[in-house]
Amino acid sequence: MFGFFKKDPVKKLQKEYLQLMEKARDIQRSGDVVKAALVYEEAEAIAVKIEELSS
């Protein structure tokens, strides 16, 4: 009955994905390419989850 109060999990994941991508960009710009790659990997894992939920 009150399903419209539930938050959309895809929107939450998209927000987290964007935050990780920005964090990875900033890390890469500071010169730590290895750490940036790890953060990009986390972001890609979230992108896969988003794709699974969207289809």
Domain residue spans of the chain:
3-54
Pairwise CA distance, residues 39 & 48, whole Å: 15
- Residues 6 or more apart whose CB falls under 8 angstroms from that of 52 comprise none
- Residue 31's pLDDT is 96
pTM summary value: 0.84
Mind listing the pLDDT tens digit of every residue in the chain (55 residues)? Answer: 566 777 888 999 999 999 999 999 999 999 999 999 999 999 999 999 999 998 8
- Residue 2's pLDDT is 63
